[in-house]
Structure 1
């Protein structure tokens, strides 16, 4: 099993190309099930989750191809993926595939909308909270689906097709919004989604669906109105840059010092997170090429954050911000409002010398001048990268094990960081 080895203490200087957003690419790939024509996605990251979802879609009968290498192409930039669901041959998403990645559960929406039936295993994914699928089921039932749960599978059908409905989500859910939005594009009549997720990845999916012929208004707000159409067609769409990767590398620069251009990054996708990072004494400037992140003088200032649905501070950057605060000159408070079990990285950061006290969903971090390298273990995707950026600023050698979590969401992280002066390498066991 691979490990990441880091020798800390080096500033980061140079350019890091920001990959396409994993959390946008996955629902966009699933949207290919809605049409028998080809959906072409540019700037798709090369990640384990993308490869896993490609296998799941292939199981449904989706043909796919990836553009080959081009002369002068940067290997750290995204790939172009062509997906064609000309004929869906299987409406079952089996446990052995779905259990490896939670987002694959979202196929239930397009399968129901286009094929009027679906048999989908209950989902798996990172163990960071219960994340029930009640909202998904309630939304699809409101649109006329008959749903049963049998031996770990959801059996869904709608013999006459889905019907438009007025759905008010009791809690903001990105996954439920993705699923209901895709299903509604081919439903008969008008669907209204209230208290819908406003995340940029939801808007990216909506814009792609409009390009495919869907009729959607209210994009970017918490009220989406979808007028169902008879069919969708092919389209070419570029995946938005990954705001979580952007925030992670920005915090890595804040941890180590230096100046790095995050090529392709866009401030409007993550203003709350960038505001929090700026409070630590880090300069962040939008340029024509991306975001320039610089920390040259003074220590890291403490800052308090609370995770919230977009446009608030994203839960997927909470672990990284905790690592940053571990080296601040003071006390900070981090409140986790999204998931009830997302402080599993605390004990591993403590092995590096971080001083963190937990009280329910609040972590109090007492900054320290120096972290010290140690052997640590990743517990989930975002926790794994918090240990990496802590290791970049720690004295001595840090080894991060179970990095298969990291490979689910960060494309060639060690290559991108080493280009900027980090002493980091992957060790294959």
Structure 2
């Protein structure tokens, strides 16, 4: 998030820049993108490709992203690969940016895109050292200061960082969500025939590829704002209910937890990813907690405990559900019956998925839509379709049933 009142100017020449962490560690380099001041939580992302999808992922709102891959910007940016309407990262940290992009799909350079959208970045720093520091000391507040701002004393810069907001307690889903509902039709994504099902999808920071993956399977998607009510959901007559990824602390999502409980009480099939997984955990009565440095990148190994298969997944989260790994206990909210941890991280045993055994609901902590990959988890969209087919509350869409409604 760019600091209010900061004057940004395009960097026609490299300006001095510094990344300052809240523990006082500083890394000096040169400006990249806009020149000015940016504040946020410093996190690292381990993907070696897909940087455009990363910076346009709303889940990165108010975060300064450190790219561990050394070369960034090689393929430029284009109008098709953005995952949302704008860049959401608060700041961007790279080691060696491309001087000239080279790709047949490239429309402009990454640094030009950052400049035009006012995103303050830094280049020429040791991103491996920054990543190791965050791994050893946890994610923390940080600031990127470039141009005139970088010439202030270290003490002044650290004071600015320490005055910024922490991620704990931050309610951000409403900030990144849409204001007006819209519909994604299967016919616009290659589906030949009538829609199979209709779902209501709550945009908590949804990526554009998510409704695309549903639509190409014949599912009509009504995307609703984060402030949607049960009446808004029922108005679209859904066969299923979905909650998306998104930024912020799940402990602040009381309104969304309340909505999901109403949906679960109605036995409407539910599927959630990322933030939607944490909201299901809370709705079932489990707690959530902040990870030391989170999982961010497209190379995260997860095991599906039902099948024993290992998936390489795309992830971006700093919070996790606090649920027991073993057994199939009754949820703390007993009316929802039994629930099990369906997926776990093979790096640190963090809960990566929940499956309800007595109601039609499940969720995962990662991104099955996975642009720019991998696609190991794409089957989860089909699993949700199967759940809607099996549910007595779900009626496949045909011209006859549509006319009846």
Q: Do these two structures clear the TM 0.5 threshold for a shared fold by scoring above it?
A: no
Query: What TM-score range do you get, normalising by the shorter chain?
Result: under 0.3
User: Comparing both chains, which one has the higher relative contact order based on Cα–Cα distances under 8 Å and sequence gaps of 6 or more?
Assistant: 1
> What is the TM-score with the length of structure 2 in the denominator?
0.25
> What is the TM-score with the length of structure 1 in the denominator?
0.24
**Larger proportion of strand:** 2
**Larger proportion of helix:** 1
